[in-house]
Amino acid sequence: MNTQNHLRLVDDPLAPEAPPPDPLIGRVLDGRYLIEKVLGEGGMGIVYRAKHTALGKSLAVKVLRAEVSKDQEIVARFRQEAKSATEIGNEHIIDISDFGALPDGSTYFVMEFLDGIALTKAMENDRPVPAARTIRIAKQICTALGAAHQAGIVHRDLKPDNIYLVKRSSDADFVKVLDFGIAKVGGATSKLTRAGQVFGTPHYMSPEQCAGTEVDQRTDIYALGVILYEMACGRVPFDADNLMGILTKHLYENPIAPRELPPPTDVPVALESVILKALEKKKEQRYQSMAEVRADLERIEQGLTPQAVMDAVDRAASHTAAGGAREGTQRTGLAMGVGEPEHQTAKKSSSLLPLLLGGGLVLLLAVGGAAAFFLTRGTGDVPVVPPIVSITPVPIAPLPVPPVGGGAGIVAPLGGGPANPELPAAAVRVTITSDPAGAAVYRDDALLGNTPFVVDRPVGDTTFELSLRSPGFANQPVRVSSMTQAALNIPLERERRVGGGGHRPPPSGQAAGTPPAAHNGRPAGGTASEVINPWDQ
Q: What is the pLDDT along the chain (537 residues), one digit of tens a residue?
A: 444 444 444 455 555 566 677 889 999 999 999 999 999 886 678 899 999 999 999 999 989 877 777 788 778 777 777 777 777 889 999 988 888 888 887 889 899 999 999 999 999 998 899 999 999 999 999 999 999 999 888 888 899 999 999 999 889 999 999 887 665 654 444 433 333 445 678 999 999 999 988 899 999 999 999 999 999 999 999 999 888 999 999 999 999 999 888 877 889 999 999 999 999 999 999 999 999 999 999 999 999 999 999 988 887 777 666 655 444 444 443 333 333 333 333 333 334 333 333 433 333 334 444 444 444 444 444 334 344 444 444 444 444 444 443 333 443 333 334 444 443 434 478 889 988 888 888 988 888 888 898 888 888 778 888 999 988 888 888 888 877 888 888 888 887 644 434 544 444 334 434 444 333 334 433 333 344 443 343
Tell me how far the alpha carbon of residue 384 is from its chain's centroid. Answer: 26
| CA–CA separation, 144 and 230 (whole Å) | 20
Sequence letter at residue 379 = T
Which backbone phi and psi does 270 adopt, to 5 degrees?
-65, -40
- Annotation says 71 is catalytic: no
Which backbone phi and psi does 297 adopt, to 5 degrees?
-65, -40
What radius of gyration do the chain's Cα atoms show? 28
Torsion sign across C-alpha atoms 318, 211, 184, 39: positive
DSSP category for residue 283: G
CATH number of 28-112: 3.40.50.150, 3.30.200.20, 3.40.640.10, 3.40.50.300?
3.30.200.20
Sequence letter at residue 139 = K
Give CATH for domain 388-415+422-491. Answer: 2.60.40
Give exposure, 133-144, as e/b (b: 16+ Cβ within 10 Å). ebbbbbbbbbbb
Answer for the pair 98, 109: CB distance below 8 angstroms, yes or no. Answer: yes
Whether residue 398 is preceded by a cis peptide bond, meaning omega within 30 degrees of 0, is no
Answering whether pTM is above 0.85, one says: no
81 sits in which H/E element: helix 72-88
Torsion sign across C-alpha atoms 134, 140, 143, 148: negative
Q: Do the strands 163-168 and 116-118 form a parallel or antiparallel pair, or are they unpaired?
A: antiparallel
> Per the residue annotation, which of 71, 95, 126, 157 is the catalytic one?
157
DSSP category for residue 114: -
Domain residue ranges of the chain, discontinuous segments joined by +: 28-112, 388-415+422-491
**Whether the domain at 28-112 and the domain at 388-415+422-491 fall into the same CATH topology:** no
What residues are paired with 249 via a beta bridge? none
Which backbone phi and psi does 265 adopt, to 5 degrees?
-95, 135
Whether residue 452 is preceded by a cis peptide bond, meaning omega within 30 degrees of 0, is yes
DSSP category for residue 491: E
Residues belonging to the chain: 537
Q: What would the DSSP string read from start to end of 133-184? A: HHHHHHHHHHHHHHHHHHTTEE-S---GGGEEEEEETTEEEEEEE---TTPE
| CA–CA separation, 537 and 535 (whole Å) | 6
* Model pLDDT, residue 304: 94
Q: Do the strands 487-491 and 476-481 form a parallel or antiparallel pair, or are they unpaired?
A: unpaired
